[in-house]
Amino acid sequence: MLIYKIFRASEWAQLQENGETLGAPVDLADGFVHFSTAQQAAETAAKHFAGQDGLHLLAVQADSLGAALKWEPSRGGALFPHLYRPLKLSDVLWHRPLPLVDGAHQFPEGLE
C-alpha cells in the first residue's frame, strides 16, 4: 500500500539535500511525520494546504517503513499513518508536483 506526504517546495528541497527529514513544522510539533492514504490525501491538502501552490506529493510504500509506522486515529476517528522516525529520501518511491488549479490541488490520476 502506498501512503502520501505533501511537502512545500522548501521542505522537498531540504529532504533532497539532507537525505532525510523530520518533516514539516506540524510534524516537528507533533513528534511524527504525518502521511495520508490515497483516500485521505485530497482532504489533507484542502484542510492543511488550502490556497498553497508549489506543493509536492511524495509516495512511500507503507510496508517498507516497518514498526516505525503507526496507524492512529485522527479526524473523526479515521486511521492515519504516522512515521516515528525520520523520513529518508530512499523511502520515497516517486514524487510529483501538486499544482493548484482554480483553487483545488490536482492530484495525479490513479493514486492507490
pLDDT tens-digit profile of 42-85? 999 999 999 999 999 999 999 999 999 999 998 688 999 999 99
Residues 6+ apart with CB under 8 A from 29: none
pLDDT value at residue 48:
93
Rounded mean pLDDT, 17-34: 97
Rounded mean pLDDT, 27-45: 96
Closest by CA to 87, choosing from 17, 37, 19, is 19
First-last CA distance in the chain: 7
Round the average pLDDT of the chain to a whole number and report it: 96
Percent pLDDT > 70 in the chain is 99
Residue 100 CB neighbour total at 10 angstroms: 17
pLDDT value at residue 75:
67
| Cβ(38)–Cβ(108) below 8 Å | no
Domains defined along the chain, listed by start:
2-105 (3.20.170.20)
Cα separation, 81 vs 34, whole angstroms: 7
